[in-house]
Chains A and B, each alone.
Chain A
Amino acid sequence: MNGVHDMGGMHGMGPAESEKNEPVFHARWEARVFALNRAVGAWGKWNIDASRHQKELIPPAEYLRISYYEKFLIGMIELLVKSGLVTRAEVESGKPARGSKKATPPLTVDKVAVLVANGVPASRNTPVTPKFRAGQRVRARNLNPTGHTRLPRYARGKTGTIERDHGVFVFPDTNAHFLGENPQHLYSVRFGARDLWGDQAAPQDAVYVNLWDDHLEPA
């Protein structure tokens, strides 16, 4: 979707400023949201792509106004309700509905270290023939789906070069909508900065974008 989250190339957001000796979390609730999000994710009711898309659906003015972990919180609540793990009424009251059965959490404390150490790989062993090869000139397709996509607007219609084929990966554009993993080759595509931004960019600079077979066409 052409949402405000897809902000590569936008102006007017202010200067980049770092914070000295920044803590990992600025408030305890941020830490709780971060960890709760992982803990409920362990139910396997949604995937990381659906989780990203849920945050993209936050209306643009609100998306820009609220903090990072508030977006996490809103996205998590929406997915919890959509998946049926909790009801809207339960979120509002903070109490389980009368008579609801108590579940057993999938992510228990003894499983945390394994989750952290193994992660959730997105590569697949499915044999899929790559559509492109390293060194080939390609164009990012001019796609404007209303759903989730990892093809940023600034690259669409632009020509670049396949730098590296990373192998077969889950395709987020379908996976986010539970339409299948649609595994396909994932590449690093090098776009010349001037091909993206015109003469204001330095001629030797470049932006590398990870794109999948379905995002690309031969140039």
Chain B
Amino acid sequence: MDGTRRGFLQAALTAAGAATTPVYAQAQGGGHGEAQQAVPSDPALRVKSLESLLVEKGLVDRKAVDALIDTYEHKIGPRNGARVVARAWADSAYKQRLLTNADAALAELGYGGLQGEHMVAVENSAKVHNLVVCTLCSCYPWPVLGLPPVWYKSEPYRSRSVIDPRGVLRELGLDLPADVEVRVWDSTAELRYMVIPERPTGTETLGEEQLASLVTRDAMIGVAKVSASLTGGRS
């Protein structure tokens, strides 16, 4: 995406910086007006300054901040969800439990918690395709997928997934047949959704671990299918 969306974001960041700089200078100079915006323009500097203030005031424990980052950077991610999907594919009784009471079924595998306190699993088939979005902000099932990618939080995805899901899916590389029913799940509450993708043909002999390696993050959001030839990954 370098040079496209990410490039756009970088340009937007720079523009945002440029826009707030004079306000900062103004507040520094005379303290008149717009106190609300009176923070340095570079987000990295602003955050550094804020963190040191919060630590110095005893409002945050820096080690707790480090631990939170480590958790979501290294410990919790889409491999969790992939294991759940593989179990559902391999064990139809588990899949039924996942579809009727996702919280309990996820807890069986040790998953749950922050931003996945109330989970719902929805199943894709040859006739039904599910897609998850949060039009109002960026709600996403952290315990099974980790933190959301930029595109999930982006305006194009948030705005058009509900009105033109088939168009959005084509842009992301998935062309659905006209007769498939598309179900879009707008995460407007504290319920968090995960999609159980269709199990690809040709995987009948694979074990759970091998199955899990095929399942991608995007398939569990509903913007991709799982292919028997893919070697899973983070996206």
Residues of chain A whose beta carbon lies under 8 Å from any beta carbon of chain B? 5-11, 13-22, 24-29, 31-36, 38-40, 43, 48, 52, 55, 62, 64-70, 73, 76-78, 85-86, 88, 90-92, 94-96, 100, 102-105, 107-109, 111-113, 115-123, 150-152, 154, 166, 169-170, 172, 186, 188, 193, 196-197, 201-202, 204-212
Q: B residues within 8 A CB of A150? A: 136, 188-189
B135→A6 contact, CB < 8 A:
yes
A166→B191 contact, CB < 8 A:
yes
- How many residues of chain B are within 8 Å of chain A by beta carbon? 98
Q: B residues within 8 A CB of A55? A: 137
Q: Is B93 an interface residue (CB 8 A)?
A: no
A121→B39 contact, CB < 8 A:
no
* Interface hub of B4, B53, B59 (most chain A Cβ within 10 A): B59
B59→A43 contact, CB < 8 A:
yes
Min Cβ gap A140→B in Å is 11
Please tell me which one of the listed residues A6, A39, A188, A208 contacts residue B61 in the complex, with CB atoms under 8 A apart: A39
Q: B residues within 8 A CB of A209? A: 186, 188
Q: Is B90 an interface residue (CB 8 A)?
A: no
* Interface hub of B5, B60, B157, B179 (most chain A Cβ within 10 A): B60
Please tell me which one of the listed residues A7, A35, A116, A121 contacts residue B158 in the complex, with CB atoms under 8 A apart: A7
Known contacts A8-B159, A9-B163, A109-B64; A86/B53 CB under 8 A: yes
A88→B54 contact, CB < 8 A:
no
B151→A16 contact, CB < 8 A:
yes
Q: B residues within 8 A CB of A117? A: 112-114
Choose the segment among B43-51, B81-89, B198-206, B207-215 that binds chain A (4+ C-beta atoms closer than 8 Å): B43-51
**Cα distance, A128 to B189, chains bound together (Å):** 18
**Cα distance, A115 to B61, chains bound together (Å):** 14
A102→B58 contact, CB < 8 A:
yes
B44→A28 contact, CB < 8 A:
yes
Q: Is B175 an interface residue (CB 8 A)?
A: no
Please tell me which one of the listed residues B12, B66, B151 contacts residue A18 in the complex, with CB atoms under 8 A apart: B151
Q: B residues within 8 A CB of A112? A: 64, 67-68, 71
Known contacts A68-B153, A121-B117; A27/B44 CB under 8 A: yes
Min Cβ gap B106→A in Å is 12
Q: Is B104 an interface residue (CB 8 A)?
A: no
**Cα distance, A21 to B2, chains bound together (Å):** 11
Across the A-B interface, give the 4 residue pairs with the lowest CB-CB distance, nearest first. Answer: A8-B135, A19-B1, A210-B189, A94-B49
B57→A100 contact, CB < 8 A:
yes
Please tell me which one of the listed residues A16, A34, A96 contacts residue B154 in the complex, with CB atoms under 8 A apart: A16
